[in-house]
Amino acid sequence: MSKSNEPKILLYDIETTNLAADFGTCLCIGYKWLGTNRVSVPSIMDYDGWRDDPTYDGHLLADFRDVYEQADMVVTYYGKGFDIKFLQAKMLEWDLGILPNTPHVDLYFTVKHNLRLSRRSLANVGYFLGLNAEKTPIEGKMWRSAQAGNHKAIKYVIDHCRADVLVLEEAYLKLRPLVRTHPRVRGWDPCRVCGSNHLQHRGPAITVTKGARHRVQCQDCGAWETRSGK
Protein backbone atom coordinates (compact mmCIF):
# COMPACT_ATOMS: atom_id res chain seq x y z
CA MET A 1 0.00 0.00 0.00
CA SER A 2 1.27 3.49 -0.79
CA LYS A 3 2.40 5.80 1.99
CA SER A 4 -0.80 7.84 1.76
CA ASN A 5 -2.80 4.67 2.56
CA GLU A 6 -4.62 5.14 -0.74
CA PRO A 7 -4.32 2.00 -2.88
CA LYS A 8 -2.41 2.47 -6.12
CA ILE A 9 -4.53 0.73 -8.76
CA LEU A 10 -2.84 0.32 -12.14
CA LEU A 11 -4.89 -0.15 -15.32
CA TYR A 12 -2.81 -1.27 -18.29
CA ASP A 13 -2.86 -2.75 -21.78
CA ILE A 14 -0.08 -3.85 -24.12
CA GLU A 15 0.20 -3.90 -27.92
CA THR A 16 2.45 -6.48 -29.54
CA THR A 17 3.41 -7.67 -33.00
CA ASN A 18 2.52 -11.30 -32.24
CA LEU A 19 0.53 -13.25 -29.67
CA ALA A 20 3.63 -15.29 -28.77
CA ALA A 21 6.53 -13.63 -26.95
CA ASP A 22 9.19 -15.67 -28.74
CA PHE A 23 7.92 -14.39 -32.10
CA GLY A 24 6.69 -10.94 -31.10
CA THR A 25 7.77 -7.52 -29.90
CA CYS A 26 6.01 -5.26 -27.42
CA LEU A 27 5.33 -2.07 -29.37
CA CYS A 28 3.87 -0.02 -26.53
CA ILE A 29 2.30 -0.26 -23.08
CA GLY A 30 -0.59 1.98 -22.08
CA TYR A 31 -1.24 2.54 -18.41
CA LYS A 32 -3.12 4.79 -16.03
CA TRP A 33 -3.38 5.11 -12.27
CA LEU A 34 -7.00 5.00 -11.14
CA GLY A 35 -8.11 8.43 -9.97
CA THR A 36 -5.63 10.36 -12.13
CA ASN A 37 -6.19 12.01 -15.49
CA ARG A 38 -3.04 11.05 -17.34
CA VAL A 39 -2.71 8.03 -19.64
CA SER A 40 0.92 7.14 -20.35
CA VAL A 41 1.82 5.12 -23.45
CA PRO A 42 5.59 4.56 -23.68
CA SER A 43 6.69 2.78 -26.85
CA ILE A 44 9.82 1.31 -28.40
CA MET A 45 10.23 4.59 -30.30
CA ASP A 46 11.06 6.37 -27.02
CA TYR A 47 14.47 4.67 -26.83
CA ASP A 48 17.70 5.11 -28.74
CA GLY A 49 18.45 2.46 -31.31
CA TRP A 50 14.89 1.46 -32.13
CA ARG A 51 15.36 2.30 -35.82
CA ASP A 52 18.40 0.03 -35.96
CA ASP A 53 16.48 -2.82 -34.30
CA PRO A 54 12.68 -2.32 -34.12
CA THR A 55 12.36 -5.71 -32.42
CA TYR A 56 14.23 -4.72 -29.25
CA ASP A 57 11.78 -3.94 -26.46
CA GLY A 58 14.04 -4.49 -23.45
CA HIS A 59 14.24 -0.84 -22.40
CA LEU A 60 10.47 -0.47 -22.65
CA LEU A 61 9.92 -3.55 -20.50
CA ALA A 62 12.47 -2.44 -17.90
CA ASP A 63 10.78 0.92 -17.43
CA PHE A 64 7.31 -0.62 -17.19
CA ARG A 65 8.59 -3.08 -14.58
CA ASP A 66 9.41 -0.09 -12.37
CA VAL A 67 5.84 1.18 -12.81
CA TYR A 68 4.28 -2.23 -12.21
CA GLU A 69 6.19 -2.75 -8.97
CA GLN A 70 4.53 0.37 -7.50
CA ALA A 71 1.01 -1.05 -7.92
CA ASP A 72 -1.06 -2.41 -5.05
CA MET A 73 -3.46 -3.91 -7.60
CA VAL A 74 -3.67 -4.16 -11.40
CA VAL A 75 -6.68 -4.17 -13.73
CA THR A 76 -6.71 -5.63 -17.25
CA TYR A 77 -9.02 -7.11 -19.86
CA TYR A 78 -7.89 -10.67 -20.58
CA GLY A 79 -4.58 -9.75 -19.01
CA LYS A 80 -4.33 -13.07 -17.20
CA GLY A 81 -4.72 -14.86 -20.52
CA PHE A 82 -2.32 -12.71 -22.53
CA ASP A 83 -0.71 -9.51 -21.20
CA ILE A 84 0.92 -10.78 -18.01
CA LYS A 85 2.15 -13.97 -19.72
CA PHE A 86 3.70 -12.01 -22.58
CA LEU A 87 5.31 -9.57 -20.16
CA GLN A 88 6.72 -12.27 -17.90
CA ALA A 89 8.23 -14.05 -20.90
CA LYS A 90 9.82 -10.83 -22.14
CA MET A 91 11.15 -10.02 -18.66
CA LEU A 92 12.95 -13.34 -18.63
CA GLU A 93 14.20 -12.90 -22.20
CA TRP A 94 15.97 -9.67 -21.25
CA ASP A 95 17.13 -10.86 -17.80
CA LEU A 96 14.86 -8.39 -16.01
CA GLY A 97 13.60 -10.84 -13.40
CA ILE A 98 9.87 -11.38 -13.06
CA LEU A 99 6.96 -9.13 -12.18
CA PRO A 100 5.57 -9.37 -8.63
CA ASN A 101 2.47 -11.41 -7.90
CA THR A 102 0.32 -8.31 -7.52
CA PRO A 103 -3.46 -8.75 -6.95
CA HIS A 104 -5.00 -8.79 -10.41
CA VAL A 105 -8.58 -8.03 -11.47
CA ASP A 106 -9.22 -9.32 -14.99
CA LEU A 107 -12.52 -7.91 -16.24
CA TYR A 108 -12.76 -10.45 -19.06
CA PHE A 109 -13.54 -13.16 -16.55
CA THR A 110 -15.92 -10.85 -14.67
CA VAL A 111 -17.87 -10.48 -17.91
CA LYS A 112 -17.61 -14.17 -18.74
CA HIS A 113 -19.01 -15.35 -15.41
CA ASN A 114 -21.60 -12.64 -14.83
CA LEU A 115 -22.95 -11.28 -18.13
CA ARG A 116 -24.62 -13.14 -20.98
CA LEU A 117 -23.41 -11.23 -24.04
CA SER A 118 -23.05 -12.23 -27.70
CA ARG A 119 -19.35 -11.26 -27.67
CA ARG A 120 -16.98 -10.70 -24.77
CA SER A 121 -14.64 -8.26 -26.50
CA LEU A 122 -13.93 -5.05 -24.61
CA ALA A 123 -15.33 -3.10 -27.56
CA ASN A 124 -18.67 -4.92 -27.33
CA VAL A 125 -18.77 -4.60 -23.55
CA GLY A 126 -18.14 -0.86 -23.84
CA TYR A 127 -20.90 -0.49 -26.43
CA PHE A 128 -23.36 -2.54 -24.38
CA LEU A 129 -22.66 -0.60 -21.19
CA GLY A 130 -22.86 2.75 -22.98
CA LEU A 131 -19.37 3.84 -21.96
CA ASN A 132 -18.17 7.27 -23.06
CA ALA A 133 -14.71 6.12 -24.16
CA GLU A 134 -14.55 4.00 -27.32
CA LYS A 135 -12.02 1.51 -28.63
CA THR A 136 -10.54 2.41 -32.00
CA PRO A 137 -10.32 -0.10 -34.87
CA ILE A 138 -7.03 -1.56 -36.05
CA GLU A 139 -6.41 -1.65 -39.80
CA GLY A 140 -4.48 -4.66 -41.04
CA LYS A 141 -2.16 -2.68 -43.31
CA MET A 142 -1.32 -0.22 -40.54
CA TRP A 143 -0.60 -3.08 -38.14
CA ARG A 144 1.77 -4.76 -40.58
CA SER A 145 3.58 -1.46 -41.04
CA ALA A 146 3.93 -1.11 -37.29
CA GLN A 147 5.45 -4.59 -37.15
CA ALA A 148 8.05 -3.42 -39.67
CA GLY A 149 8.96 -0.39 -37.54
CA ASN A 150 7.06 2.31 -39.44
CA HIS A 151 6.92 5.47 -37.28
CA LYS A 152 3.46 6.58 -38.41
CA ALA A 153 2.00 3.11 -37.94
CA ILE A 154 3.42 2.71 -34.44
CA LYS A 155 1.94 6.11 -33.53
CA TYR A 156 -1.40 4.76 -34.75
CA VAL A 157 -1.03 1.75 -32.44
CA ILE A 158 -0.12 4.06 -29.54
CA ASP A 159 -3.34 6.05 -30.02
CA HIS A 160 -5.30 2.79 -30.15
CA CYS A 161 -3.67 1.64 -26.90
CA ARG A 162 -4.48 4.93 -25.15
CA ALA A 163 -8.14 4.56 -26.10
CA ASP A 164 -8.14 0.98 -24.78
CA VAL A 165 -6.92 2.12 -21.37
CA LEU A 166 -9.67 4.74 -21.11
CA VAL A 167 -12.33 2.16 -21.99
CA LEU A 168 -10.78 -0.25 -19.49
CA GLU A 169 -11.04 2.30 -16.69
CA GLU A 170 -14.70 3.05 -17.41
CA ALA A 171 -15.49 -0.65 -17.63
CA TYR A 172 -13.75 -1.29 -14.32
CA LEU A 173 -15.74 1.41 -12.50
CA LYS A 174 -18.94 -0.05 -13.93
CA LEU A 175 -18.16 -3.74 -13.38
CA ARG A 176 -16.19 -3.80 -10.13
CA PRO A 177 -19.24 -4.55 -7.93
CA LEU A 178 -19.41 -7.90 -9.76
CA VAL A 179 -15.81 -8.87 -8.98
CA ARG A 180 -16.35 -11.43 -6.21
CA THR A 181 -12.63 -11.84 -5.53
CA HIS A 182 -11.87 -8.12 -5.60
CA PRO A 183 -8.94 -7.26 -3.30
CA ARG A 184 -9.92 -5.40 -0.13
CA VAL A 185 -8.59 -1.94 -0.98
CA ARG A 186 -8.78 -0.15 2.38
CA GLY A 187 -9.04 -2.32 5.48
CA TRP A 188 -11.97 -4.32 6.80
CA ASP A 189 -14.52 -1.66 7.75
CA PRO A 190 -14.98 0.28 4.47
CA CYS A 191 -16.30 -1.19 1.21
CA ARG A 192 -13.92 -3.92 0.07
CA VAL A 193 -14.13 -2.75 -3.56
CA CYS A 194 -13.97 1.06 -3.56
CA GLY A 195 -13.06 1.88 0.06
CA SER A 196 -16.17 3.97 0.73
CA ASN A 197 -17.64 4.22 4.24
CA HIS A 198 -21.11 4.85 2.80
CA LEU A 199 -22.51 1.40 3.56
CA GLN A 200 -26.05 0.21 4.13
CA HIS A 201 -26.97 -2.90 6.11
CA ARG A 202 -29.41 -5.11 4.20
CA GLY A 203 -30.45 -7.77 6.70
CA PRO A 204 -29.21 -11.25 7.64
CA ALA A 205 -27.40 -13.64 5.33
CA ILE A 206 -27.16 -17.43 5.45
CA THR A 207 -23.81 -18.98 4.51
CA VAL A 208 -22.64 -22.57 4.11
CA THR A 209 -19.34 -22.33 5.98
CA LYS A 210 -19.41 -19.19 8.14
CA GLY A 211 -22.79 -19.40 9.82
CA ALA A 212 -25.15 -16.47 10.29
CA ARG A 213 -23.86 -13.17 8.88
CA HIS A 214 -25.41 -9.99 7.54
CA ARG A 215 -25.49 -8.36 4.14
CA VAL A 216 -23.96 -4.96 3.40
CA GLN A 217 -24.19 -2.88 0.22
CA CYS A 218 -21.95 0.04 -0.69
CA GLN A 219 -24.03 3.08 -1.65
CA ASP A 220 -21.23 4.49 -3.83
CA CYS A 221 -20.10 1.62 -6.08
CA GLY A 222 -22.99 -0.79 -5.43
CA ALA A 223 -20.89 -3.76 -4.29
CA TRP A 224 -22.41 -6.34 -1.92
CA GLU A 225 -20.67 -8.41 0.75
CA THR A 226 -21.50 -10.44 3.83
CA ARG A 227 -20.00 -9.67 7.24
CA SER A 228 -20.00 -11.10 10.73
CA GLY A 229 -21.63 -9.34 13.67
CA LYS A 230 -24.71 -7.14 13.70
Interval 65-100: pLDDT, tens: 999 999 999 999 999 999 999 999 999 999 999 999
CA of residue 33 relative to chain centroid, distance? 10
- Contact predicate 141/186, CB 8 Å: no
Alpha helices in 69-150 (DSSP H): 84-93, 107-114, 122-129, 140-147
Q: Which stretches of the chain score pLDDT less than 70?
A: 1-5, 208-211, 229-230
- CATH topology match: 9-178 vs 187-230: no
Distance CA 32, CA 35 (A): 9
Is domain 9-178 classified as CATH 3.30.499.10? no
CA of residue 114 relative to chain centroid, distance? 18
Q: Which fold has domain 187-230?
A: N-terminal domain of TfIIb (2.20.25)
Strand partners, 76: 106
For the chain, what are the domain ranges? Answer: 9-178, 187-230
Distance CA 111, CA 124 (A): 11
72: left (phi over 0), alpha (psi -120 to 50) or beta: alpha
Query: What pLDDT score was predicted for residue 230?
Result: 55
Length of the chain: 230
Distance CA 114, CA 109 (A): 8
